[in-house]
Amino acid sequence: MNDLLQFLSFEDPNTRYVVTGTVLLAISSAIVGSFTFLKKKALVGDAVAHAVLPGVCLAFMLAGNKNPVYLVVGAFITGWLSLVIIDQIVARSRIKEDTAIGLILSTFFGLGIMLLTKIQHSGNAAQSGLDSFLFGKAAALVGTDVIVFSTISIILLVVVFIFFKELTLIAFDEDFAKSIGFPVRRLELVLTTLTVMAVVIGIQAVGVVLMAAMLITPAAAARFWTDQLKVMLLLAAIFGAFAGVFGAYVSYTAPAMPTGPWIVMIISIIAMFSFFFAPRKGILYKMVKQRRIQKKIRDENILKMFYQLGEVDGDFFSSRTSDILAERRELASGQLSSGLSRLKRHGYLKSEHGSWQLTIEGKNKGQRTIKLHRLWELYLTQYLHIAPDHVHDDAETIEHIITPELEAKLEKLLEYPDVDPHMSKIPYES
C-alpha cells in the first residue's frame, strides 16, 4: 500500500518519467490501433511488432551501442519493410493475406532472435538490456529515452488529429473515399507509417511479442461501449493509459519484471469486462435483455388469456382462478404466478381471495395484443399468401412487437377489417 501511495505521489522523478513515457506510448498505440482495428487489419500490427526485432538488432550491431535514435531507425526500417513484403506477397502470388502475415511475422522474428542470441553470445557488454525489447521494460524509460519516445508519441497524436477526417473515411469506406477523389494510397501510407511508428516506440513498454495487444485490445474494448468514432478513440486512449500506468507501477515495485505481460493482462481484463458488461453490446447485457423480453411476452400472453376467456363468457372483468388459466395455456406454474404478480404490480390485474381480474388497463392491453394477432394473421394470408392454418405461430410472436405506428399502418393497409382468417372478430378500441 505504501508503495502504491509513494508511486502515485510522483515524487520520484524517475517515476514521473516512466509513467509519462508509458502512458504516452500506450495512448498513441491505442489511437493508431483503433484505425487498423476498424479496417479489420488488426493482425497486421502483430506482424509489424515482430518484424521490428531484427531491425533493432541490426542497428545495434552496426552502431555498437543502444542509442535510441539508431534503434528506432532500424526498427522502423524492418517494420516498414515487413508491411511492404506482405503486400507484395498477397498481390503477386496466390498466398492469402493471413498466411503472408503469419509468414512474415514468424520469419522476421526468427531472424531477430537469431541476431539477438548472436549478440548475446558475443559478450558485448553494451548489449545487456537489448532483450528487454522482447517483453518490454518500462523501467528502462529514463532520461533521453523518454524525451525521444514521448516526442514521437506526441507527433503521432498530432498527425492523427490533422488527418482525422481522412483516416476515418478510409477506415470506414475505402471505395467511397476513392470515388470522391481522396488520395487513398497516400493516406494508407500515412496510416502505415503511423502504425509502424507506434509499434516502434510502444515496444519499449510492452515488448515485441505482446505489442499487438496494445494496438488491438484497447480498440476492441472501446468498440463495445460506443458507436461514435471520437468516443471510441477517447475510451481506447483511456483504457490504454490506465494499463500503461499499471505497467509503470509494476516496474516501480519490481524493476526486474518485464512490464509487457502486466500491461497486456490489465488491458485484456478491461476488454473482457467490456465484452460482457457493456450496455447494448455486452454479452451479459444481451442475455438480460432477452430475459426481459421473455417476461414481456409472457405477461402479454397472460392478459391475452383473460381477454379470450372474456370473449367466451361475455364478461371481461370476471374473476379467474389460476387453475383455469393454467389449463388454457401451457405455462410452468412458477412462471404463471410470477407473471400474475408482476401484472398486478403494474396495475393490469387485481386479485381477491386467490382469483384474478383484469383492470381496465389490463383489458385494453390484452385486447390490443389480440387485435394485433388477428390483424397480423390477416396480413400474412392476404399479402404473403400463407395458408390460414400456418399463420397462428407467426402471429404469436409478432403480436408482441408491433408498435402503435405499425399498428396504424397495418389497419389502414387491410382497410379496417372485421374478422381474421379464422372468422374471429377483430376488436378495435371503443
Partner 1 sequence: MIQQVDNPVLEVHDLTVSYDKKPVLWGIDLTIPRGSLVGIIGPNGAGKSTLIKSVMGLIPLGSGYAELFGKSLDEVRDQVSYVPQRGTVDWDFPASVMDVVLMGRYGKLGLFSRPKKADREAALTALRQVGMETFVNRQISQLSGGQQQRVFLARALAQQADIYFLDEPFAGVDAATEKAIITLLRKMSDEGKTVIVVHHDLQSVETYFNWIILLNTRLVASGPTEKVFTQQLLQETYGGKLTLLSEVGNLLKKGEFPNREKTI
Partner 2 sequence: MNELYIIAAGSMVAISCGLLGCYLILRKMAMVGDAISHAVLPGIVIAFLIAGNRDSVTMLLGAGLIGVFTTFLIEFLHRKGKLQSDASIGVTFTWLFALGVILISVYAGQVDLDQECVLYGEIAYVPLDLWILEDGTNLGPRTLYVLSFVLVGVVTFILLGYKELFLTTFDPAYAAAIGISATLWHYLLMGAVSFTTVAAFESVGAILVVALLIAPPATAYLLTDDLKVMLLITVGLGVVISILGYYLAASIDASIAGAMSTVAGLLFALAFLFSPSHGIIFKKQIAEPTPDALSS
Contact 301, 328 (CB under 8 A): no
For residues 155 and 141, what is the distance between their CA atoms, to the nearest angstrom?
Answer: 18
**Using rule CB under 8 A, residue 294 touches partner 1:** yes
Question: Which of 172, 273, 383, 416 touches partner 1 by CB under 8 A?
Answer: 383
The SS3 call for residue 321 is strand
- E strand or H helix at 97: helix 97-122
**Contacts (CB under 8 A) with partner 2, residues 36-55:** 37, 40-43, 46, 50
Q: Report in angstroms how near the CB of residue 40 gets to partner 1 at its nearest.
A: 18
**Using rule CB under 8 A, residue 217 touches partner 2:** yes
- In this structure, the number of other CB atoms found within 10 A of the CB of residue 354 comes to 9
Partner from partner 1, partner 2, none binding residue 384, C-beta < 5-8 Å depending on class: partner 1
Phi (first) and psi of residue 420, to 5 degrees: -90, 180
Question: Which of 212, 229, 237, 245 touches partner 2 by CB under 8 A?
Answer: 212
**Using rule CB under 8 A, residue 26 touches partner 1:** no
**Using rule CB under 8 A, residue 109 touches partner 2:** yes
Q: Which of 72, 68, 201, 205 is closest to 143 using CA atoms? A: 68
Q: Which is nearer to partner 1, 63 or 386 (CB)?
A: 386
Q: Which of 187, 189, 204 is closest to 153 using CA atoms? A: 204
Question: Which of 175, 352, 393, 415 touches partner 1 by CB under 8 A?
Answer: 393
From 205-213, 228-236, 329-337, 361-369, span contacting partner 1 (CB under 8 A)? 329-337
**Using rule CB under 8 A, residue 291 touches partner 1:** no
For residues 42 and 243, what is the distance between their CA atoms, to the nearest angstrom?
Answer: 19
Question: Which of 396, 411, 417, 427 touches partner 1 by CB under 8 A?
Answer: 396
Q: Which is nearer to partner 2, 128 or 179 (CB)?
A: 128
Partner from partner 1, partner 2, none binding residue 118, C-beta < 5-8 Å depending on class: partner 2
Distance of CA 32 to the CA centre of its chain: 16
173: left (phi over 0), alpha (psi -120 to 50) or beta: beta
- Gyration radius of the chain over CA positions: 32
> Residue with C-alpha cell 371481461?
316
Partner from partner 1, partner 2, none binding residue 232, C-beta < 5-8 Å depending on class: none
For residues 394 and 339, what is the distance between their CA atoms, to the nearest angstrom?
Answer: 23
Question: Which of 394, 417, 424, 427 touches partner 1 by CB under 8 A?
Answer: 394
Side chain identity, residue 75:
A
**Contacts (CB under 8 A) with partner 1, residues 86-125:** 94
Partner from partner 2, partner 1, none binding residue 401, C-beta < 5-8 Å depending on class: partner 1
| Residues 358, 361, 366, 371, Cα dihedral to 10° | 140
For residues 158 and 167, what is the distance between their CA atoms, to the nearest angstrom?
Answer: 13
Q: What is the DSSP letter of 425?
A: B
> Which residues pair with residue 350 across a beta bridge?
357
Contact 345, 356 (CB under 8 A): no
Q: Report in angstroms how near the CB of residue 231 gets to partner 1 at its nearest.
A: 21
* C-alpha cell of residue 417: 377489417
**Using rule CB under 8 A, residue 260 touches partner 2:** yes
**Using rule CB under 8 A, residue 403 touches partner 1:** yes
> Which residues pair with residue 357 across a beta bridge?
350
Side chain identity, residue 18:
V
**Using rule CB under 8 A, residue 379 touches partner 1:** yes
Q: Which is nearer to partner 1, 174 or 396 (CB)?
A: 396
**Using rule CB under 8 A, residue 137 touches partner 2:** no
**Using rule CB under 8 A, residue 353 touches partner 2:** no
> Which residues pair with residue 80 across a beta bridge?
none
Residues that bind partner 1 (CB under 8 A): 94, 286, 289-290, 293-294, 297-298, 301, 330-331, 335, 379-380, 383-387, 390-391, 393-394, 396-398, 400-403, 406, 409-410, 413
Residues that bind partner 2 (CB under 8 A): 37, 40-43, 46, 50, 89, 92-96, 98-99, 101-103, 105-118, 121-122, 131, 134-135, 209-210, 212-213, 216-217, 219-220, 223, 257-258, 260-262, 264-265, 268, 271-272, 275, 281, 283
